[in-house]
A and B are shown apart, each in its own frame.
Chain A
Protein backbone atom coordinates (compact mmCIF):
# COMPACT_ATOMS: atom_id res chain seq x y z
CA UNK A 1 0.00 0.00 0.00
CA UNK A 2 1.13 3.52 -0.65
CA UNK A 3 2.04 5.82 2.21
CA UNK A 4 2.89 9.50 2.48
CA UNK A 5 5.06 10.83 5.30
CA UNK A 6 5.55 14.43 6.38
CA UNK A 7 8.13 14.49 9.14
CA UNK A 8 7.77 18.17 10.08
CA UNK A 9 4.64 18.81 12.17
CA UNK A 10 5.41 22.55 12.23
CA UNK A 11 7.65 24.96 10.37
CA UNK A 12 8.25 28.67 10.76
CA UNK A 13 9.55 31.24 8.28
CA UNK A 14 10.17 34.96 8.30
CA UNK A 15 8.16 37.01 5.85
CA UNK A 16 9.96 37.35 2.48
CA UNK A 17 12.25 34.39 3.28
CA UNK A 18 12.25 30.93 1.72
CA UNK A 19 11.06 27.75 3.39
CA UNK A 20 11.10 24.11 2.32
CA UNK A 21 8.55 21.54 3.46
CA UNK A 22 9.54 17.87 3.26
CA UNK A 23 7.57 14.87 2.05
CA UNK A 24 8.50 11.28 1.36
CA UNK A 25 6.30 8.56 -0.02
CA UNK A 26 6.37 4.85 -0.58
CA UNK A 27 5.00 3.09 -3.66
CA UNK A 28 5.84 0.23 -5.97
CA UNK A 29 4.20 1.98 -8.92
CA UNK A 30 6.09 3.90 -11.57
CA UNK A 31 3.37 6.23 -12.77
CA UNK A 32 1.56 8.47 -10.32
CA UNK A 33 0.79 12.03 -9.34
CA UNK A 34 2.05 14.00 -6.38
CA UNK A 35 0.42 17.08 -4.94
CA UNK A 36 0.77 19.78 -2.35
CA UNK A 37 -2.49 21.07 -0.92
CA UNK A 38 -2.89 24.11 1.34
CA UNK A 39 -5.53 24.22 4.07
CA UNK A 40 -6.09 27.71 5.56
CA UNK A 41 -8.22 28.25 8.67
CA UNK A 42 -11.30 28.23 6.43
CA UNK A 43 -10.67 24.46 6.13
CA UNK A 44 -11.05 24.43 2.37
CA UNK A 45 -8.20 22.51 0.79
CA UNK A 46 -6.62 24.29 -2.15
CA UNK A 47 -4.35 22.65 -4.70
CA UNK A 48 -0.99 24.43 -4.67
CA UNK A 49 1.05 22.40 -7.13
CA UNK A 50 0.98 19.08 -8.96
CA UNK A 51 3.73 16.84 -10.32
CA UNK A 52 3.43 13.96 -12.76
CA UNK A 53 5.89 11.21 -11.92
CA UNK A 54 6.90 10.56 -15.53
CA UNK A 55 8.02 14.17 -15.94
CA UNK A 56 11.55 14.83 -14.78
CA UNK A 57 11.14 18.59 -14.76
CA UNK A 58 10.13 19.98 -11.39
CA UNK A 59 6.76 21.74 -11.33
CA UNK A 60 6.63 25.47 -10.59
CA UNK A 61 3.70 27.74 -9.82
CA UNK A 62 4.77 31.33 -9.21
CA UNK A 63 6.45 31.37 -5.74
CA UNK A 64 5.91 27.64 -5.24
CA UNK A 65 8.21 24.99 -6.64
CA UNK A 66 8.95 21.36 -5.92
CA UNK A 67 12.06 19.23 -5.74
CA UNK A 68 10.96 15.85 -7.05
CA UNK A 69 13.46 13.04 -6.51
CA UNK A 70 11.79 9.92 -7.90
CA UNK A 71 14.51 7.45 -6.97
CA UNK A 72 14.57 8.75 -3.40
CA UNK A 73 10.74 9.00 -3.32
CA UNK A 74 11.03 12.54 -2.08
CA UNK A 75 8.79 15.48 -2.97
CA UNK A 76 9.58 18.72 -1.15
CA UNK A 77 7.81 22.06 -1.54
CA UNK A 78 9.74 25.31 -1.64
CA UNK A 79 7.94 28.56 -0.94
CA UNK A 80 9.91 31.64 -1.97
CA UNK A 81 9.30 35.20 -0.78
CA UNK A 82 6.95 33.92 1.95
CA UNK A 83 3.86 36.00 2.62
CA UNK A 84 1.59 36.20 5.65
CA UNK A 85 -1.15 34.58 3.57
CA UNK A 86 0.98 31.48 3.15
CA UNK A 87 0.38 30.55 6.78
CA UNK A 88 -1.67 27.34 6.72
CA UNK A 89 -1.51 23.57 6.96
CA UNK A 90 0.21 21.99 3.98
CA UNK A 91 -0.52 18.43 2.94
CA UNK A 92 1.51 16.29 0.61
CA UNK A 93 -0.59 13.78 -1.36
CA UNK A 94 -0.19 10.84 -3.72
CA UNK A 95 -2.47 9.34 -6.33
CA UNK A 96 -1.84 6.40 -8.62
CA UNK A 97 -2.10 7.05 -12.36
CA UNK A 98 -3.33 3.53 -13.11
CA UNK A 99 -6.92 2.96 -14.18
CA UNK A 100 -9.07 2.70 -11.08
CA UNK A 101 -6.40 4.25 -8.88
CA UNK A 102 -8.70 7.02 -7.81
CA UNK A 103 -7.84 7.21 -4.12
CA UNK A 104 -5.70 10.21 -3.13
CA UNK A 105 -3.57 9.48 -0.06
CA UNK A 106 -2.57 12.34 2.21
CA UNK A 107 0.25 12.88 4.66
CA UNK A 108 -0.35 14.13 8.21
CA UNK A 109 0.41 17.71 7.27
CA UNK A 110 2.87 20.46 8.20
CA UNK A 111 1.65 23.63 9.86
CA UNK A 112 3.48 26.66 8.47
CA UNK A 113 3.79 29.83 10.52
CA UNK A 114 4.87 33.05 8.82
CA UNK A 115 6.38 35.76 11.03
CA UNK A 116 6.01 39.41 10.14
Chain B
Protein backbone atom coordinates (compact mmCIF):
# COMPACT_ATOMS: atom_id res chain seq x y z
CA UNK B 1 0.00 0.00 0.00
CA UNK B 2 1.39 3.44 -0.90
CA UNK B 3 2.56 5.48 2.05
CA UNK B 4 4.03 8.85 2.95
CA UNK B 5 7.66 8.50 3.98
CA UNK B 6 9.42 10.89 6.35
CA UNK B 7 13.07 11.18 7.27
CA UNK B 8 14.68 11.34 9.71
CA UNK B 9 12.45 9.77 12.36
CA UNK B 10 14.29 11.72 15.07
CA UNK B 11 16.27 14.94 14.82
CA UNK B 12 18.12 16.59 17.68
CA UNK B 13 19.48 20.08 17.15
CA UNK B 14 20.83 23.02 19.04
CA UNK B 15 18.77 26.19 19.38
CA UNK B 16 19.49 28.55 16.51
CA UNK B 17 20.47 25.82 14.08
CA UNK B 18 18.73 25.14 10.80
CA UNK B 19 16.93 21.86 10.24
CA UNK B 20 15.40 20.32 7.14
CA UNK B 21 12.69 17.70 7.49
CA UNK B 22 12.08 15.53 4.47
CA UNK B 23 9.01 13.83 3.11
CA UNK B 24 8.14 11.72 0.10
CA UNK B 25 4.37 12.00 -0.46
CA UNK B 26 2.29 9.31 -2.14
CA UNK B 27 3.21 9.42 -5.81
CA UNK B 28 -0.13 10.31 -7.40
CA UNK B 29 -1.08 12.85 -4.74
CA UNK B 30 -1.15 16.51 -5.67
CA UNK B 31 -1.56 18.29 -2.32
CA UNK B 32 1.02 18.28 0.42
CA UNK B 33 0.88 19.45 4.00
CA UNK B 34 2.92 19.87 7.13
CA UNK B 35 1.34 19.51 10.55
CA UNK B 36 2.95 19.45 13.94
CA UNK B 37 2.01 18.06 17.34
CA UNK B 38 3.64 19.27 20.51
CA UNK B 39 3.68 16.49 23.12
CA UNK B 40 0.24 16.10 24.66
CA UNK B 41 -1.35 18.73 22.45
CA UNK B 42 -3.44 18.98 19.28
CA UNK B 43 -2.30 18.25 15.78
CA UNK B 44 -1.80 21.75 14.32
CA UNK B 45 -1.84 22.78 10.68
CA UNK B 46 1.30 24.54 9.44
CA UNK B 47 1.10 24.80 5.67
CA UNK B 48 -0.42 23.37 2.52
CA UNK B 49 1.31 23.22 -0.86
CA UNK B 50 -0.06 22.70 -4.34
CA UNK B 51 1.28 23.27 -7.82
CA UNK B 52 4.66 24.36 -6.46
CA UNK B 53 3.35 27.07 -4.22
CA UNK B 54 1.94 27.56 -0.76
CA UNK B 55 -1.87 27.49 -0.86
CA UNK B 56 -2.48 28.25 2.80
CA UNK B 57 -0.43 28.72 5.95
CA UNK B 58 -1.13 29.19 9.65
CA UNK B 59 0.10 31.87 12.04
CA UNK B 60 2.67 29.37 13.29
CA UNK B 61 4.29 29.27 9.83
CA UNK B 62 6.30 32.48 10.16
CA UNK B 63 9.41 33.66 8.33
CA UNK B 64 11.52 31.00 10.06
CA UNK B 65 9.68 28.29 8.14
CA UNK B 66 9.82 27.46 4.47
CA UNK B 67 8.73 24.58 2.27
CA UNK B 68 10.04 23.34 -1.01
CA UNK B 69 9.46 20.61 -3.53
CA UNK B 70 12.98 20.41 -4.96
CA UNK B 71 12.20 17.57 -7.36
CA UNK B 72 9.28 15.41 -8.44
CA UNK B 73 9.16 13.35 -5.28
CA UNK B 74 10.50 15.17 -2.21
CA UNK B 75 8.73 17.77 -0.08
CA UNK B 76 10.77 19.52 2.59
CA UNK B 77 10.15 21.73 5.61
CA UNK B 78 13.01 23.99 6.64
CA UNK B 79 13.23 25.75 9.97
CA UNK B 80 15.89 28.43 9.64
CA UNK B 81 16.76 29.16 13.25
CA UNK B 82 15.20 26.68 15.64
CA UNK B 83 13.74 27.70 18.98
CA UNK B 84 13.06 25.56 22.02
CA UNK B 85 9.32 25.83 21.32
CA UNK B 86 9.80 24.24 17.90
CA UNK B 87 10.30 20.89 19.65
CA UNK B 88 7.43 18.73 18.41
CA UNK B 89 6.49 15.82 16.18
CA UNK B 90 6.25 17.07 12.61
CA UNK B 91 3.93 15.18 10.30
CA UNK B 92 3.93 15.39 6.55
CA UNK B 93 0.64 14.53 4.85
CA UNK B 94 -0.62 14.30 1.32
CA UNK B 95 -3.96 14.02 -0.41
CA UNK B 96 -4.94 13.07 -3.91
CA UNK B 97 -7.17 16.06 -4.43
CA UNK B 98 -7.65 19.29 -2.54
CA UNK B 99 -9.72 19.93 0.50
CA UNK B 100 -12.30 20.16 1.81
CA UNK B 101 -13.46 16.65 1.06
CA UNK B 102 -10.14 14.99 0.79
CA UNK B 103 -8.67 12.67 3.35
CA UNK B 104 -5.16 13.13 4.63
CA UNK B 105 -2.56 10.39 4.57
CA UNK B 106 0.10 11.02 7.19
CA UNK B 107 3.71 9.98 7.33
CA UNK B 108 5.11 8.45 10.50
CA UNK B 109 6.55 11.79 11.61
CA UNK B 110 9.86 13.37 12.56
CA UNK B 111 10.38 13.98 16.27
CA UNK B 112 12.32 17.25 16.50
CA UNK B 113 14.08 18.04 19.75
CA UNK B 114 15.63 21.50 20.12
CA UNK B 115 18.14 21.76 22.96
Q: Is A bound to B?
A: no
> What residues of chain A have their CB less than 8 Å away from a CB belonging to chain B?
none
